[in-house]
Structure 1
Amino acid sequence: MKKVVFALLLTSSAYECMGQVSLKGYPIAAVPINHVELTDKFWLPKIKTVQKTTIPFGFDKSYKEGRMDNFLIAGGKMKGKTRGAMPFDDTDVYKLIEGASNSLISSPDKKLETYVDSIIAIIKVGQEPDGYLTTWHTIDPNNPPAKWVKPGPRWESESMSHELYNAGHLYEAAATHYVATNKRNFLDIALKNADLLVKTFGLEPGKRKAPPGHQIVETGLIKLYNITQKEDYLKLAKFFLDVRGDSTTHKLYGPYSQDHKPVTQQDEVVGHAVRGVYMYAGMTDVAALYNDKTYLNAIKALWENTVNKKMYITGGIGSRHEGESFGDNYELPNKTAYNETCASIGDVYWNQRLFMLTGESKYYDVIERTLYNGLISGISLSGDQFFYPNPLESDGEYKFNFGASTRQPWFDCSCCPTNLVRFVPSVPNLIYATQNDKLYINLFASNKAQVMLNKLAVNIEQQTEYPWNGAIRIGVNPAKQASFTVKVRIPGWTQNEVLPGNLYSFTNHTTTPITLTVNGKAVQPAITNGYADITRQWKKGDVIELKLPMSIRRVVANEAVKDDKGLVSLEYGPVVYCVEGIDNQNKVADITLPDTAQLRIEKKDNLLGGVNVITGTVPLTGQSGSKLTLVAIPYYTWSNRGVDPMKVWLPRSE
């Protein structure tokens, strides 16, 4: 851990409330959504766009695509064949309900709540008497909606049938809906299904011993356990992980499904990236709940492999279109990068768990990079167009996005749009965390929050223009004067670390120190696991002021990354930049960015929702004496103005 340098100034866990599914077993607890009121100019508009546009848009698309009809057909209330093209279409409805529920936590809306209840009533129609719930199989098990799913009895082709994947998203959504509304209508559907799984799967004689093909049922079961305290759900989640890679229990699915060796022996991330990170999140839950060191060692090794050899500069993961999978070590192509939006979402879930288990800020360095870049790039500024893959280069012609070179309003496989709906309203849950008398400030966004440290109520107020400005003001107002510790995260990028590990590095190191004051007086607190620990007697009106030095940074990749040799990318604070044709005379392919080019930041309030751009004069390749006024925009904003060439990585010389 690098020593954090502060400038010397010469001037003077557990919440008894609704708001989140509390994850037991972790020493650190996230502060619930309904305890954080965003006032932020960056995240609040994005959440409101999802609430006002994307949630109703997603429900409307699901209705028109027949997602709701499938439950009615399965329950005999409608006639017809399975609608849709995927065996996991049910999950789109579940994820929309989860997103709506997360929205209801922070923004109560009776009309939305009533609508969600009507959809839950439709879902109940499709559930079989014993609790089974996968509509395509109930409608016609001999005619799956996708050719790659084998017909037959329940769970017979689980490697690709997605029956347990459907169950996992059902549990995740039902748990969130329960804490949002305190209603059991959706929870009871999920519990009935979970009880069927408990009766069906396990090592006991007569039970099925195969794991799910696509993981997520593990974390879903654990959320049901957290609500009900029913040990069977926790044991089943661990069973599903324990039997992976065990050829004595089932015919192995192979590396694509992370079923090539026991999970505790895996040390390289392989296969389908979304399946992988969902599984790693479940493994982290098991490590926490069982205090299992073998699980912990495995997930740490998998994380190290990810950040050191398989993560894009945007935080994206999964380089191959084939199998939507991780590639080999250092296989990070740009134009053909996959970087599925769902994988970024799953990676945030995993890294938040790793933080709650260890209290190390490096996991939030990954979360922050992913959030501001490779995750929100998946949704348009208007909230109704999406990326499934998120490449780092486009020629405007290569059709990377399911047959398109730009954003699309929907997909036959619509997992990414609905996953964004469930995730974005939950962002306030990532900002703060508590552990006994310690308050962690993990992300910087204007907000007002209420936290509990032991039994002491503390009001926190952040004011900042982050990520465009590094000045952060934090008001600390305890109910009464008391001693506790405020742990302020010091982002790795301020310490010349692009990401944890050695996959990327800055060419221009910053020597500008951080300034940190309490009530106007400079402090230089101890740094623990990447956090500045400020322990003192706090009283109402106390103010922490943090200034993170921001400048334009140039990044290069490890020499082992062949696709980035001789190239450089740009960052400002936590934001990765790219160049797009519309801003650069459609000469993206000719732009060179030498180390000597003078660059500056310009604030553009009327561009792309209000952003900082990087601009400067640069030479054009092969055009002696020709120069261009380069304009680089935040990567997450590209492809909001039509089909256009784009690059994140640019040549350092002609």
Structure 2
Amino acid sequence: MKNIFLPVFIGLISLFISDIIPAQKRDYSIKSVSFTNVKLTDKFWLPRIETNRLVTIPASFERCDKTGRVKNFVLAATHTGKFCSIYPFDDTDIYKTIEGASYSISLFPDPKMSAYLDSLIAIIGKAQEPDGYLYTARSIDPAHPFSWAGSERWINERQLSHELYNAGHLYEAAAAHYLATGEKNLLNIALKNADLVCSVFGPAANQRHTAPGHEVVEMGLVKLYRITGEKKYLNTAKYFVEERGHDVSYDSTSKDEWKNGAYWQDNIPVVDQTEAEGHAVRAGYLYSAMADVAALTGDTLLENAVDKIWNNVVNKKMYVQGGVGAIGDGERFGDNYELPNATAYNETCAAIAQVLWNERMFLLHGDSKYIDVLEKTLYNGLISGIGLDGKSFFYTNAMQVKNSFSGGDLEATRSGWFPCSCCPTNLVRLIPSIPGYVYAQQDDKIFANLFISSNTSFNISGKQVDIVQQNNYPWDGDLLFNVNPKSTVNFSFLIRIPGWAKGAAMPSDLYSFQQKLNKKVTIKVNGKAVDYKTENGYAILNRTWHKNDKVEVELPMEVRKVVANNNVKDDMGKIALQRGPLVYCAEWIDNNGKASNLIIPSNTSFTSDFNPNKLNGIEEIKAQVPAVVIGNNGDGIKTVQQSFTAIPYYAWANRVKGEMMIWFPEKIQDVDLIAGK
């Protein structure tokens, strides 16, 4: 591996310290610490990254090959044959898998994987047209392109073609590959395409005035700007963001999101948007780009707009497990408080977009509430999308599954692949980037954002500071930070005090804990309890640090009952369960064959115990609760006391198909009778 310079990542986006590219005068004042500089030693995330390396990435490449995604590039190079997969955005599955593999080989060098990446990149390069255009759905047979593509380049970009979406994922893959390996073979392909995009789209009279139909190219262009310092890439990203809301072909009087442009976040200029609308993945990518452009240009109007949209999501449009995009019709946000359980959509890609966006919001503002939301999504509604085997997935993430004569609810079985496999390949690139979310730095301030056992080093005032984090999180709330500067140095160590540890289920009133906490967060330095000040959700330890200093944090790991805002009609009179950052659910296999008949009265007491032999090791929640059961002859119902077991939501659907519930009634208010056959 060639170490050209030290990249600093925001999860999936590369952020560089200011002296790397002198042309950049503005940027996030807070920088994420490079995922390559945080070496995990934990038992929760490190095994998942290993599974991603050994199982998920190879399976993804194999499926890209078997489904014709690789062959599309081979055919595009010769302009012969027929497009042989299903969607014109299938190119991105290869790009995203290359991105994830690049992160992986940076953490775990793998010559065989590196050679395979080079072979794929060579195939991609041959498919690129002389002017930089790269889109197999057209290049295979330019006279008869894929039906979504339109008869000419770009003319159908706003609605269906996904030409710029493909380009964006190419740029993200190229940036990751270059930063991981130092090789420019994929980067050069991406830059050639980006140069074409920058020449075609823009504000000039002779350029196309089009906002991308599916956002992501904006974030990709920002990555290329960070690598090269070429201002045109940033300018075009800013143009794409600001071009939204100016298409006069939409019917502004229509309430249909496809007709008025809201589905693409294109109904009004972004600086005037205050509510999350439309396709939830596209929206999350747009809001991430808005934060990037605001940070890089100092655009306060963009910053104000993205702040308002974030407040709308967190206050009115997010599920208790961090999922977004409630409506299956269009994979989109619903109205305020429209969060149905039986039909919840919660696309995995939308959860990934929320992680990307909230990391940027933290870097923009330095407030822990953004990491609180990131953590909730990451530990719950995101990793629920991938099975413990590393090769089975959910496209959508259900809030409940009932078995009934009427057919039940949404999917309860994971799939190895989908006709549209954006979610599996998105997970491929997200999982190995997790180390990049643990720490951040702003001058002489170090932020500890996620609690993952790891080793890392910082440079503070020219002095090296090593920090070793040791814990058993998320199962245990006892955290230990070994702070070991090479020589005495003064700096501020800011440790996030999670909202859930302070009594807040969400940084809003959308969800709240039913009862107050019995314990408070305690912090010790070298064995002595300290009084600490908090600012923006962080405990601030400002002191002169010496070798072998130890910081201990005790987070209260109580089982908490969660209630929803009364405006969320589906959850009225119900409670959910949370312990630490994890939201829990009940599966039928642990609860006498059903989960939808369970009642959790307000006076229920819970215990929790770690079971190392179940679902790769989990903390189970147990109680005695009433359950509604049918009489032997089917001529009546009654309630009986039975044992209750809840497991972390992320771990459901890893055994056998059956019922699952997150929300439980506190008492019986009604009974819906369904006649049997």
TM-score (norm 2): 0.92
The Cα shift of 1:174 comes to 0.4
Residue 511 of structure 1 deviates from its aligned partner by 3.0
Aligned to 2:85: 84
Give how far 1:514 is off.
Answer: 1.1
**Would you say the 8 A contact 2:132–2:192 is kept in 1?**
yes
1:70 is aligned to: 72
The residue that corresponds to 2:397 in the other structure is 390
Moved over 4 A (4+): 141-145, 248-253, 396-401
* Structure 2 match to 1:102: 103
Structure 1 letter corresponding to 2:6? C
- 1:396 and 1:405 in contact (8 A); partners too: no
Q: CA deviation at 1:452?
A: 2.0
Match of 1:3 in 2: none
Q: Does the aligned pair in 2 maintain the 1:399–1:405 contact within 8 Å?
A: no
Partner residue in 1 for 2:672: none
Partner Cα separation in structure 2 for residue 598 and residue 350 of structure 1: 37
Alignment of 1:122-521 (within 5 A): 122-141=123-142, 143=144, 145=146, 149=148, 151-159=150-158, 160-247=160-247, 254-396=261-403, 404-521=411-528
* SS in structure 2 of the partner of residue 590 of structure 1: coil
Distance apart, 1:454 and its partner CA: 3.9
Give the 3 Å change call, closer, same or farther, for CA 267–343 of structure 1 in structure 2.
same
Partner amino acid for 1:17? L
| AA of the residue aligned to 1:176 | A
CA distance in 2, matches of 1:455, 1:299: 35
Q: Does 2:597 correspond to 1:597?
A: no
Letter paired with 1:33:
F
Question: Quick one: distance in 1 between partners of 2:351 and 2:247?
Answer: 31
Per-residue Cα deviation, 1:440-470 (whole angstroms, up to 9, x for no partner): 0000011111122242211110110011000
SS in 2 for 1:324: coil
Residues 19 and 105, structure 1, Cα contact 8 Å, conserved in 2: no
Provide the residue aligned with 2:256 in structure 1.
none
Q: Distance in 2 between matches of 1:232 and 1:250?
A: 29
CA contact (8 A) 1:209 1:249 kept: no
Secondary structure class of the residue paired with 2:603: coil
Residues 390 and 512 from structure 1, CA distance in 2 versus in 1: closer, same or farther, beyond 3 angstroms?
same
Structure-1 separation of matches of 2:403 and 2:221:
43
- Equivalents in 1 of 2:453, 2:514: separation in Å? 31
Whether 2:563 is the aligned partner of 1:556: answer yes
Cα-Cα RMSD: 1.6
Is 2:651 the counterpart of 1:642? no
Whole-angstrom CA distance in 2 between matches of 1:156 and 1:122: 27
1:516·1:547 contact (CA, 8 Å) conserved in 2?
Answer: yes
**Counterpart Cα distance in 1 of 2:589 and 2:567:** 32
Question: How many residues matched?
Answer: 635
1:651 aligned onto 2:665:
yes
Q: Deviations 1:184-237 (Å, cap 9, x if unpaired)? A: 000000000000011101111211001110000001001000000000000000
Structure 2: distance between partners of 1:150 and 1:84: 14
Going from structure 1 to structure 2, the CA distance change for 1:253 and 1:421 (only over 3 Å counts) comes to farther
Structure 2 unaligned residues grouped into runs of 5+: 17-25, 252-258, 630-636, 669-677
Say whether the 8 Å CA contact 2:139–2:145 is kept in structure 1: no
Q: Report the 3-state secondary structure (helix = DSSP H, G, I; strand = E; otherwise coil) of the residue aligned with 2:610.
A: strand
Quickly say closer, same or farther: Cα 1:69–1:230, change in 2 above 3 A. Answer: same
Q: Is the 8 A contact 2:331 2:345 kept in 1?
A: yes
In the TM superposition, residue 151 of structure 1 has moved relative to its aligned partner by 2.7
Distance 2:195 2:316 in 1: 40
Tell me, yes or no, if the aligned pair for 2:618 and 2:648 is still in contact at 8 Å.
Answer: yes
The one-letter code of the counterpart of 2:66 is: K
Are 1:41 and 2:40 an aligned pair? Answer: no
CA contact (8 A) 1:141 1:151 kept: no
Alignment identity in percent?
48
CA drift at 1:19? 5.9
**Secondary structure of 2:63 counterpart:** helix
Q: In the alignment, residue 339 of structure 1 is paired with which amino acid?
A: N
1:61 is matched with which residue?
63
The aligned amino acid for 2:484 is: N
**Are the aligned partners of 1:338 and 1:389 in contact in 2 as well (CA < 8 Å)?**
yes
Distance 2:504 2:7 in 1: 37
Q: TM-score, normalised by structure 1?
A: 0.95
Unpaired runs of 5+ residues, structure 1, are 1-14
SS state of the match for residue 544, structure 1?
A: strand
Residue number in structure 2 paired with 1:17: 6
**Can you list the C-alpha shifts for 1:43-72, whole angstroms capped at 9, x where unaligned?**
111111111000000000000001111111
Looking at structure 2, the residues matched to 16 and 510 of structure 1 have their Cα atoms a distance apart, in angstroms, of 46
